[in-house]
Structure 1
Amino acid sequence: MKSLSTLIVGAGYAGSVVARELADAGQRVLVIDRRAHIAGNAYDEYDEHGVLVHRYGPHIFHTNGERIFEYLSRFTEWRAYEHRVRGVVDGVGYPFPINRDTLNRLYGLELDEQGAAAFFERVREPREPVRSSEDVVLNSVGRDLYEKFFLNYTRKQWGLEPSQLKAGVAARIPVRTNTDDRYFTDTFQAMPKHGYTKMFEAILDHPNITVELGVDFSALRDRIKARHIVYTGPIDAYFDYRYGRLPYRSLRFEHEHLPDVAQFQETGTVNYPNEHDYTRITEFKHLTGQHHSGTSIVREYPQAEGDPYYPVPRAENEALFKRYQALAEQESEVTFVGRLAQYRYYNMDQVVGAALASAKRLLG
C-alpha cells in the first residue's frame, strides 16, 4: 500500500470534511467506508422510476452557522427549502411543531398570539426540576397535547417511555404561539441543488484523496500503516465492545413509488404519532423540487436492531460512553469524530462543525 498521512474511516460528513481539509493542506488521505457508496446516511440516488430519494430517511439541511453554510457552498449550489411537517391526530393533519393554528383547529378556538400563550399557561403541568422528556412536554403544553402528539410517537421512536429519556430529546421541538409552521427556524435552510451525493463527490474530488468503498476497517486495521487515523464509526466497535455495546435506535425504511400521483401529501413529512407502526412518511419531491409524473415516499419504522442511527439519550448510556471516551483519549494517533464516534445526536451542520474543528487540531 502507498504511504499515506491519514486513514479516514467513514465517508459521511465527518470523514469527508476532515479528508478535504487535510488534502487541501497537502496530506495524502485514504478514505474507506464499509458501504458501497459515499455520503453516509445522507446518501441519495435516483430510484428505478427516476425520482431522487434519500435512502436512509429525509435529510433536511438547516443551520444558523454562516461559516458552515459557506463552507458547504464551495461544493454545491442550493435550492431554497423550508421544511414543514404535519402531525396526524384522529385522522386529521395539524401543524407540527404545535403552534397557534394547531390549537385553533384542534380545539375549535380563535386564539390570537396572546391567547395562545395564555392557553399554554393554563394547561401546562409545571415540573420542577425538569429531568425527562415527559417533564419537558408536560411543563410546556400539558397532558392532552402530550398524549395526542408526543407520547406514542416517543414510544415508537425510542422504544421507551418519555419519562425514561433525557430532557434534551423533547427540548429540540419548540412550541409556538404564532402561526409559523416551519419545522426549523434557522437562518440558512436549503437543499443541495443536485443532491447530497453530488455534494459529497465534490468534497472528495481531490488528487490527495483516495476513496475505497466496501472496505471494513476491522478487516484491515492490523495491516494498514498510517501516521494517523480519523475514526467516524461507533466508538464501542473500535474497542471491540470492551465494556459492552452502546445502545442505539435503528430504523427500517419502506420505500414506495406511486405512479401517476403528482403529490401524495400536503407537506414534506407527515408524522403518525398514534395509529401506525411507522412514525412518519416523507415525500421526496417536496424536498428536492423535482418535477415527475409520479412520486416516491418512504415510511420509517423504528427498531432496536440494525444499523446504528440514534444514540439513546439516557444517563446510564452516557456513563458507558464516558468509559469508552476515556479509552479514546489514550489513543494519541486516533481522532474520534462524528455522531457514532462521539455518541451524540448531531445535526448535519453540527457534524461539519465538529469535523472542521478536528481537522484544525490535526493541522495545528
Structure 2
Amino acid sequence: MAKTQFDYLIVGAGFAGSVLAERLATDLNKRVLLIDRRPHIGGNAYDYVNDDGILIHQYGPHIFHTNSQRILDYLSRFTKWRAYEHRVLADVDGQLLPIPINLSTLNKLYGLNLDSAQAEKFLAERAEPVAEIKTSEDVVINQIGTELYEKFFRGYTKKQWGLDPSELDKSVTSRVPTRTNSDDRYFLDEFQQMPLDGYTAMFEKMVEHPNISIMLDVDYRTVKSTAEFRHLIFTGPIDEYFDYCFGKLPYRSLEFRHVTVDKPKFQSVAVVNYPDEHVEHTRITEYKYLTGQVHEKTALTYEIPQAEGDPYYPIPRPQNAELYKKYQALADATPDVTFVGRLATYKYYNMDQVVGQALATYQRLATAEPNSNLAMPVALTET
C-alpha cells in the first residue's frame, strides 16, 4: 500500500498551524496534511453552539485585538467582524470595580472624587519602591503599593498560577497596566473586534482549500506511519516532541465549567474577575457580550485553574526558561522540523501574535523552497 504524499505535515490546527496550512496551500500550491489530536479545528479558539442554541467558547473567552493592520487584513479574508471593546470588572470588597485599575476604580473603592492628576499622586504616595524588580509581586508593589496589590493581584495570581506572585517572573503582572484616567477598556489596541460568525467559522474558511487535507482526533506519531511528507511543522508541546528527554516543561491548566442560566443577562460585562483566593474560580465569562447574540437565556463559563490537564500557560520562572533552552537547542539541531506557536516555543502569545509568528514563519519557509517547486504540488497518491 503506497503512502499518501504531502509537502508538509502540520501538527496542530490552531492559529499557527491553520495559518501556515492556508499560506502554503494558497500561495505556494503545496500539498498539506493538517492534523490535530482534538476532534475539531481552531485550537483553543474553538467555539460552538451549545444545546441551548448559544454560541460559546469551549476553552474560555478569546477576544481579538491587535495594532497590526497586516494581521487584521489577513484574517479579514476569512471573516467579517463585529466591533467589540472588552471590559472587565473585579469583585473586590463587595463591589464590582474596573480592572485594570483606573480612575473610576480608585474613586469607587475609596469613596473619593479624584481627577487624573490627583489619582497619579494618590498612587505615587502608596507605591513602595523596590530596588531591583525581579518578581510579579515586585512589579505591582513598586507601582501601587501593598494594599492594592493584596486586593486586586495577589489572590488572583496565586490561583491562576498555583504560586505566590513572589515566586513568578515579573512578566506576569507587567502585562496588566494601571491607569489614572477613566478609560475602562481592558485592551487599548487600535483594532478590537470579534469574528462575526465565530472563530470556528473563520477557521473553516481558512483551511477550505483543495490542497489541504485534515485529520482530527489523531496522534501525529500514528499519522507519520501512514503519510509521507517533506517537512514537519510542529505546534504542539516541544518537550513532548522530544519525548520529555530533559523532563516536562511546567504548565498551568484550566477547568472550564459551562452553564446556561435561564435569564437573558447574568452580569453587567463579559468577564468578572474574582481575586479572592478563597473563591475557587478566577473569573466568570458571559458570552453574549462577546458575540452580540440575542437569546432568552445566557451562557457562562467558570474558570478554575489547576495543575493537571491540557497545557495552557507556560509557568514563567527562571528554572523553566532554562529547561526550555535545552529543548530549543534540540529544535535548532532538527532542520527538517519547524517549531511554531505557543506550545512549541514555550511562550504565551496573544492570538494576533501567533498569527504574526505564523506569517513570519511562512515567509522563511517560502524563501527556503527550491524555485523549481514553487508552483508544483506533490501528487496525492492512494491505493
TM tier relative to shorter chain: over 0.9
Unpaired segments of 5 or more residues in structure 2? 368-383
1:330 aligns with one of 333, 339, 348: 333
Q: 1:13 aligns with which of 12, 15, 24?
A: 15
Q: Secondary structure at the match of 2:357?
A: helix
Matched, 1:174 2:177: yes
Separation in structure 1 between the aligned mates of residue 224 and residue 307 of structure 2, nearest angstrom? 28
Partners of 1:50 and 1:162 lie apart in 2 by 40
Verify: 1:215 aligned to 2:218, yes or no.
yes
302, 307, 323: which one pairs with 2:305? 302
- Other-structure match for 1:50: 53
User: Quick one: distance in 1 between partners of 2:17 and 2:295?
Assistant: 34
For the 8 Å contact 2:11–2:34, the answer to whether it is kept is: yes
Do the aligned partners of 2:4 and 2:228 also contact (CA within 8 Å) in 1?
Answer: no
Instruction: Name the CA distance, whole Å, in 1 between partners of 2:144 and 2:152.
Output: 10
The 5 Å alignment of 1:192-341 reads: 192-259=195-262, 261-274=263-276, 275-341=278-344
Correspondent of 1:124 among 124, 127, 138: 127
Could you list the structure 1 runs, at least 4 aligned residues long, displaced by more than 6 angstroms after superposition. none
Instruction: Please provide the CA RMSD for this pair.
Output: 0.8
Match in the other structure for 1:146: 149
**Structure 1 residue 218, shift from structure 2 partner:** 2.7
How far did 1:247 drift?
A: 0.2
Report how many aligned residue pairs link the two structures: 363
Choose 1 or 2 for highest CA Rg: 2
Partner of 1:188: 191
CA–CA distance in structure 2, aligned partners of residues 314 and 36 of structure 1: 32
**Which residue identity is paired with 1:214?**
D
Report the AA paired with residue 158 of structure 1. Answer: W
SS at match of 1:110: coil
Matched, 1:80 2:83: yes
Partner Cα distance (2:19, 2:260) in 1? 33
SS of residue matched to 1:212: strand
Superposed displacement of residue 225, structure 1 = 2.1
Equivalent-residue separation in structure 2 for 1:221 and 1:150 (angstroms):
45
- The offset of 1:90, in angstroms, is 2.3
- Structure 2: how far apart are the matches of 1:224 and 1:136? 50
* 1:66-97: CA deviation from partner (whole Å, max 9, x where unpaired): 11111100100000000000000122100000
Identity of aligned residues (%): 58
Q: Normalised by the size of structure 2, how large is the TM-score? A: 0.94
> What is residue 89 of structure 1 aligned with on the other side?
92
Query: What 5-or-longer segments of structure 1 have no aligned partner?
Result: none
